[in-house]
Amino acid sequence: MVKIYHDQDADLKALSDKTIAIVGWGNQGHAQGENLKDSGLNVIAADIPGSRAWKRAEADGVKAMSVADAARAADYIQILLPDEYQGKIYRDEIAPNLEEGNVLGFSHGFNIRYFQIVPPENVDVVMVAPKGPGDLVRRTYQEGKGVPCLVAVEQDHSGEAKRKALAYAKGIGGTRAGVIETTFTEETETDLFGEQVDLCGGVTEMIKAAFETLVDAGYQPEIAYFEACHELKLIVDLIYEGGFMRMWNNVSNTAEYGGMTRGHRIINEQSREEMLDILAEIQSGEFAREWILESQAGLPVKKSLEKMESEHPIEEVGAQLRAMMPWLEKK
């Protein structure tokens, strides 16, 4: 049975006498750090001296330090760097400065799950993972609400690891919404699967395929863009707000019937077999090895694919049409 923790299940006193280092004062880092500070906890920022993130931390009223200095000063070290940087920075700057009883915290389990970070046995290893971007984590906290989080304990040296992790989750506002217990393995594998199969990989390929099908059949690219891409946000927003039935109840009967009777022809048994293959690559570590080697090589495949994506006709048509809709511009 799933365990969900709320405000009454967490006590900030578990961290009230601790120093928390946020390693990486970026989108997620600044949000978590500022929320913790506003919750009355002692926070320091760890980043590259003089960097934009360093200056932002100082502007936020948080003391900024090098990663090594912050690791020495902190009791709870929350690593919020991109996955591909965490292993090296941990080995070079954090590991030499760890002390018994420290807490190593994460918001994604990749480096623990795939052994890029192997902590000593005398520290706690925990995860608090907000299910939303940093701006949302910060904004909802300021509104007196919060973003749901995941919590996991990989290593409990102190016997108090979960208590500290839940205190951290409360400090960033997560327990206001609810904190679901998981494991590093479950969080990592499901997160990668979602990114690859539907949230990022699957949805962009579906959009491009639909767009190309209409254009190749002779329809105007502008009309194809609206039908294959632009209107997707309207559908996703309805599902996000109220589930599938909220969406089905807010589209036409024609759209509902057509979607329900034809959708399974697009996501079919062959699609599901590929999903299982992708999951197997994630579970076995095959994808992790591929991504780690790609990162070490300077990201040649990633950069090449980005170039190809940027040159797809849907990007050119989309840019022209979005220019007609200034309200879409990011504020």
**Helix axis angle, 27-38 to 52-59, nearest 10°:** 20
In the residue annotation, 312 being an active-site residue is answered as: no
48 DSSP assignment: -
- 273 marked as part of a ligand binding site: no
Q: How far apart are CA 226 and CA 247, in angstroms?
A: 18
Rounded to a whole number of angstroms, the CA Rg of the chain reads 22
Angle at 94 between CA 90 and CA 96, to 5 degrees: 115
- 227 marked as part of a ligand binding site: yes
- 134 marked as part of a ligand binding site: yes
Strands of 123-205 (E only): list them.
Answer: 124-130, 149-155, 179-181
CB under 8 Å to 13, separation ≥6 — which residues? 167
- 195 marked as part of a ligand binding site: yes
Instruction: Spot the catalytic one: 108, 230, 264, 312.
Output: 108
Q: What is the DSSP string of 158-175?
A: SS-HHHHHHHHHHHTTHH
Q: How far apart are CA 224 and CA 102, in angstroms?
A: 55
Angle at 153 between CA 54 and CA 33, to 5 degrees: 20
- 202 marked as part of a ligand binding site: no
- 231 marked as part of a ligand binding site: yes
Residue with the two structure tokens 């194809």: 224
Residues of each annotated binding site for substrate: 252
Residues of each annotated binding site for Mg(2+): 191, 195, 227, 231
Residues of each annotated binding site for NADP(+): 51, 134
Residues taking part in catalysis:
108
Residues of each annotated binding site: 51, 134, 191, 195, 227, 231, 252
